[in-house]
Structure 1
Amino acid sequence: MTPYVLYVPEDAQPGNAAALKRAEVVKDGIAWWAVLFPLLWFIWHRLWLGTLAVLAAGAALSLACYLLDVDRSAASLAHLALVVFFALEANQIRGWTLQRRGFAAVDAVLDRSRAGAETKLFARWLAGEAQAVAAPRSASPTPRVSAPGPVVGLFPEPGGGR
């Protein structure tokens, strides 16, 4: 079973059939076509920053292998590892890009096929039963406010560790 996520425009209301015309269903997992054709996959999905990242990472890896005089077979293996990494992250990059473009992740299901997942997601959306997908955690933790004074040791106490 593969997880699939439904992205709709942020201003869309559950039950609105017109919102499904712009909706995107994104598989959460490896993008197999991105393993075989990484640049074409990113271009096909109009992920311009992802395309630039693949090009930049590939060029940097090629340059590093050249400057370090790495054996061709080892360099090929490194490039394959880079492609697999981007294929593993490709659908996450796609979801991130959709969120940057004003879409919201509104529902997720597990299914064996994309068609089955779309059927479930669209039926739940039209019935107004879309379940909110958990918002991604913030990259930076909430800062703690400490008492004024010097901080001493690994686990300081307020007031300078007195």
Structure 2
Amino acid sequence: MPVYTVHAPKSAGLAPSAATDKFVFVRDGFHFWAFVAGPFWLLFHRLWLVLIGYLVLSFVGEIALSKLGVGAGLRGIVMFLVALLMGFEASSLRRWSLSSGKWRQLDMVVADNTEAAERRFFDHWATSRRDESYSTDRGAPPPTRRVPAQPFARGPEDVIGLFPQPGVTR
């Protein structure tokens, strides 16, 4: 079954429940239309920076291969592989574009299609918390034992194994 990531706009001072009609569900997996018509798929989804990068990569790759004297068949195979890569990475590029903008990832949903993903997400979301802490923050580093302000900070130095303090009888 496909996995969908749910993204919501970061509204200034508004709760996520105020913008439920603007939620975006991005399916993970191979995108056929991104493979067949990559630039048009990027235009349709408004991925401007990715489109510029794709066009630059295509033109520079084509010019470099022609300057190296590579035949047309091998150049076609290279461009086919670039298109195949575009088909596989289209959803990752879309999620990257959303995360660099004014969007945040709320959740991940497993469903057969987009409608089922929406239904499953909103059923779960309606019964859980609706505040800002529901969003998934993937930008912070994991807690470490060396930083005292984090919840997993080091304990007292004299604790060894299962004994709370050395020399204390039970």
Query: TM-score higher than 0.5 here?
Result: yes
User: Kindly, what percent of the aligned residue pairs are identical?
Assistant: 24
Aligned to 1:92: 92
Q: Please list, as runs of the form range in 1=range in 2, the aligned pairs for 1:12-161 lying within 5 A after superposition.
A: 13=15, 16=17, 18-128=18-128, 132-133=135-136, 135=138
**Deviating more after overlay: 111-120 vs 38-47:** 111-120
TM superposition outliers: structure 1 runs of 4+ over 2 Å: 10-14, 122-134
Q: Return the offset for 1:129.
A: 5.2
Q: Return the offset for 1:44.
A: 0.2
TM-score, scaled relative to structure 2: 0.72
The answer to whether the 8 Å contact 2:104/2:135 transfers is no
Q: SS in structure 1 opposite 2:110?
A: strand
Runs of at least 5 residues in structure 1 that lack an aligned partner in the other structure: 143-162
Q: How far apart in 1 are the matches of 2:65 and 2:20? A: 46
TM-score, scaled relative to structure 1: 0.75
Q: How far apart in 2 are the matches of 1:66 and 1:86? A: 22
Q: How far apart in 1 are the matches of 2:140 and 2:84? A: 25
User: Number of aligned pairs?
Assistant: 138
Q: Return the offset for 1:137.
A: 7.6
